[in-house]
Amino acid sequence: MTVLPVGDGAESATRAATQPAARGRSTRAWWHTNTGRRLTFGYLLLAPAALYVLLLVGIPFLFSLYLALSDANVGDPVARFVGLENFRAAWEMDTFRDALRNSIVFLVVAAIFKSLLGTSLAFLLLQNFKGKKLVRALVVIPFTLPISVSVLSWKWMYDSQFSVINWGLHKAGLIGAYGSESWPIWLGQPHLALLACIGVNVWRSFPFSAIVLLAGFTSVPNEVLDAARVDGCSFFQRFRHVVTPMIFPILIIGFLFDTVFTLSDLSVVYLLTQGGPGSATMILPVLAYQIGIQAGSLGRGAAIALMLVPLLFLALFLMLRNLKRRD
Amino acid sequence: MTTAAVPRTHRQKEIRRHLLLYAGVTPFLFIAVFPIYWMAITAFKQEPDLYRMGNIPFWFNLPPTLKNFETLFYQTNYGYWIVNTLTISAWVALITLLTAVPAGYALARLKLPGAENIGIAIFMTYLVPGIILFLPLSRVVATLGLQDSWWALVVVYPTFTIPFCTWLMMGFFKTVPMEMEEAARVDGCGQLSALVRVVLPVSLPGVLTSVIFAFTLSMQDFLYGLAFVAPGDQKPVPVGVPTELIRGDVFFWGSIMAAALLVGLPVAILYNFFLDKFIQGITGGVGK
């Protein structure tokens, strides 16, 4: 995913050296020419950031490929090459299959709710009304609050006995009293638990969807909309044929961001259920953490984490194919 | 427009429109804000007040108390966590500034061959999730001898702040008119002094934005802190609160909510002011 075409000094040197010298404009060494000086200065300024990213993102990414193909673990620093053994072993774990299935279900269900909520909120915020700024500032709080902090509030709201959600449902007559059949134990019942985790993700990210959409909407010039209106396009026609294609690039970026976050976030599930009950809410990041750090099996953990990459690429591919079709 | 009745119906229409909009917005507001309200009221409630199911839980049934905050500061490592969080973020901000600002400048203004692609490549690394990097990085942290110290996070957090802030600074520097440097160069400034004396001062808002993001993005992390820092007094707040204040099945909800609120809210508010910049940052390069 990250092949870094990071320019280094050598590359710039050859380029700078061939250009002015070939034109015979100067016999000075290339680094004394204006272009040479500018490029040297430029790559010197670029180097610290590029090296940091290369050393701590690029190389670790390659290193994780290596780990996944080895039997590295925390206790034993000498790793042996084992080929695809880690992937095969992971595939044969029931927990892994549950985690893969849950990750996909999580991503799809959450995306549906986020787009519905996000789109409706964006349309509301597109209107002008008094107090809009305040509404906007309040409604984005879930996104701006550190996730591990807000999950705690949800854990308390999902409490098995003192859940405020259940209190409300009970008073509304929708569920029975504590201890009865219809009293939901949000984090204790398999299907509910997954739904409860998805709910927190949706709550955290729907403001993001709305704000990204809103940024897209406001980037469409009014003249374009007016022209479409004059041509007799209805609201939905304008939306479908004018607005959507124009804001599509922004939508893709927003979608990609959210997909990466949703697929790779471990805090919601880790803090709410640790993947339980059983493996009902187990997702790939939590499994990778449990196996890689808690069990110390670095190779196996890296292999499981890398299984996210195809999912990320699949999401990207689907989005891009959709984009192409529109062109 | 000619009769006197028109303005009134217009106003009535406006009022109706507003009422409809408020009705539409209210459920969203409720969903977004209730968990935070619940957090806040729990933080100030007395312990027995949390567990009285007979009363309406949305308000105080016993007088509010500051005891939860006291417990936090006197009986837990919370004070350390706050200091750790601030120190980590300050270091991360410093490292980010020293690397991302020059890089953004070089990519935006020095007409380097391939600058656009290098910029995109650096930004793409922001999209590589921590969950793929944390195992190899745990090796890096161990090699540097930083395991079990918050210094590990100072090393690791710039992996996401540098890409984002470089991208952000690129955008900022592109808006500064080229003539400014040219004028400075004509006046005899070298390349470095043109940058430091002329371009940087007018880009201060951008630099400030980068600092804010280095802070807020650092606070959004949970995975790296969880994986790399085990000792109780070395953790940053977003990791310490959920891992240290929950012991087995015993939950001190009042203190937990107080801890979450005290740090979460300032971050949320600060981030709120800069949210548009964040959205611009991630969409801007593509929208044009």
pLDDT in tens, B155-187: 999 999 999 999 889 888 888 888 888 888 788
Residues of A in contact with B276 (CB under 8 A): 215
pTM: 0.86
pLDDT, one tens digit per residue, over A226-278 is 888 788 778 778 777 888 888 887 888 888 888 989 999 999 999 999 987 98
B247: enclosing H helix or E strand: strand B246-247
Distance from CA of A237 to the nearest CA of B (A): 22
* Confidence band of B75 (pLDDT split at 50, 70, 90): confident
The per-residue pLDDT for B6 is 59
The per-residue pLDDT for A198 is 96
When the pLDDT of each residue in chain B is averaged and rounded to a whole number, the result is 86
**Could you tell me if B148 and A41 are in contact, meaning their C-beta atoms sit under 8 angstroms apart?**
no
Residues of A in contact with B82 (CB under 8 A): none
Tokens matching residue B179: 């003539």
Residue B48 has pLDDT above 90, yes or no: no
Please name the fold of domain B80-287: MetI-like fold (1.10.3720)
* DSSP category for residue A31: G
What backbone phi and psi angles, to 5 degrees, belong to A154?
Answer: -65, -35
* Confidence band of B286 (pLDDT split at 50, 70, 90): very low
Is pLDDT larger for residue A180 or for residue A76? Answer: A180
B135 Cβ contact partners less than 8 Å away, ≥ 6 residues apart: A64, A67, A288, A292, A293, A298, A301, A302, A305
Residue A2 has pLDDT above 50, yes or no: no
Peptide bond preceding B163 in cis form (omega within 30 of 0): no
Give the number of other CB atoms < 10 A from CB of residue A178: 15
Q: How large is the average pLDDT for residues B96-122?
A: 89
Please tell me which residue of chain B has the smallest CA distance to A271. Answer: B242
Query: Any CB–CB contact under 8 A between A31 and chain B?
Result: no
The per-residue pLDDT for A325 is 62
Instruction: Please tell me the distance from the alpha carbon of residue A248 to that of residue A231, in angstroms, as a whole number.
Output: 22
Q: How far are the Cα atoms of A216, A239, A250, B134 from residue A220, in angstroms, in the given order? A: 7, 11, 12, 40
**Could you tell me if A40 and A12 are in contact, meaning their C-beta atoms sit under 8 angstroms apart?**
yes
pLDDT, one tens digit per residue, over A159-209 is 888 888 989 888 888 888 887 888 889 999 988 999 999 999 999 999 999
- Hey, where are the domains in chain B? 5-65, 80-287
Please tell me which residue of chain B has the smallest CA distance to A261. Answer: B129
Residue type, B184: A
Closest CA to B134 of B207, B222, B18, B235: B222
Distance from CA of A141 to the nearest CA of B (A): 6
| Interface contact B18-A130, CB threshold 8 A | yes
* Confidence band of B191 (pLDDT split at 50, 70, 90): confident
Distance from CA of A49 to the nearest CA of B (A): 5
When the pLDDT of each residue in chain A is averaged and rounded to a whole number, the result is 84
Closest CA to B228 of B239, B220, B219, B237: B239
Kindly calculate the radius of gyration of chain A based on its CA atoms and give it in whole angstroms. Answer: 26
Q: How large is the average pLDDT for residues A36-49?
A: 89
| Interface contact B99-A12, CB threshold 8 A | no
Q: Is B253 in a helix, a strand, or coil?
A: helix
- Hey, where are the domains in chain A? 9-68, 87-326
Among the partner residues A45, A253, A261, nearest to B103 by beta-carbon distance: A45
DSSP code per residue over A228-284: HHHTT--HHHIIIIIIHHHHHHHHHHHHHHHHHHHHH--HHHHHHTTT-STTTT--H
**Could you tell me if B259 and B74 are in contact, meaning their C-beta atoms sit under 8 angstroms apart?**
no
Residue B287 has pLDDT above 70, yes or no: no
Instruction: Please tell me the distance from the alpha carbon of residue B205 to that of residue A298, in angstroms, as a whole number.
Output: 43
A 235-254 near B (Cβ less than 8 A): 249-250, 252-254
Distance from CA of A258 to the nearest CA of B (A): 10
Distance from CA of B135 to the nearest CA of A (A): 6
Instruction: Please tell me the distance from the alpha carbon of residue A16 to that of residue A19, in angstroms, as a whole number.
Output: 6
The per-residue pLDDT for A218 is 82
Among the partner residues B113, B155, B241, nearest to A15 by beta-carbon distance: B113
The region of weakest confidence among A27-31, A162-166, A200-204, B41-45 is A27-31
pLDDT, one tens digit per residue, over A129-141 is 888 889 999 999 9
The region of weakest confidence among A11-15, A35-39, A199-203, B21-25 is A11-15
Query: Any CB–CB contact under 8 A between B17 and chain A?
Result: yes
**Rounded to the nearest 10 degrees, what angle do helices B253-287 and B115-124 cross at?**
160
Q: Is the CATH code 1.10.3720.10 the one for domain A87-326?
A: yes
Residue B231 has pLDDT above 90, yes or no: no
**Percentage of chain A surpassing pLDDT 70?**
88
B158 Cβ contact partners less than 8 Å away, ≥ 6 residues apart: A52, A56, B92, B95, B96, B99
DSSP code per residue over B50-107: HT-TTS-TTS-SS---SHHHHHHHHHSSHHHHHHHHHHHHHHHHHHHHHHHHHHHHHH
Query: Any CB–CB contact under 8 A between B236 and chain A?
Result: no
Residues of A in contact with B102 (CB under 8 A): 45-46, 48-49
Residues of A in contact with B103 (CB under 8 A): 45-46, 48-50
Query: Any CB–CB contact under 8 A between A202 and chain B?
Result: no
pLDDT, one tens digit per residue, over A292-304 is 988 888 889 999 9
Burial A150-164 (b: 16+ CB within 10 A, else e): bbbbbbbbbbeebbb
Tokens matching residue A215: 């940024």
Handedness of CA B70, B72, B74, B78 (dihedral sign): negative
Among the partner residues A52, A127, A162, nearest to B162 by beta-carbon distance: A52
Task: For residue B47, count CB atoms less than 10 angstroms from its CB and return exposed for 0-12, middle for 13-18, buried for 19 or more.
Answer: middle
B88, β-bridge pairs: none
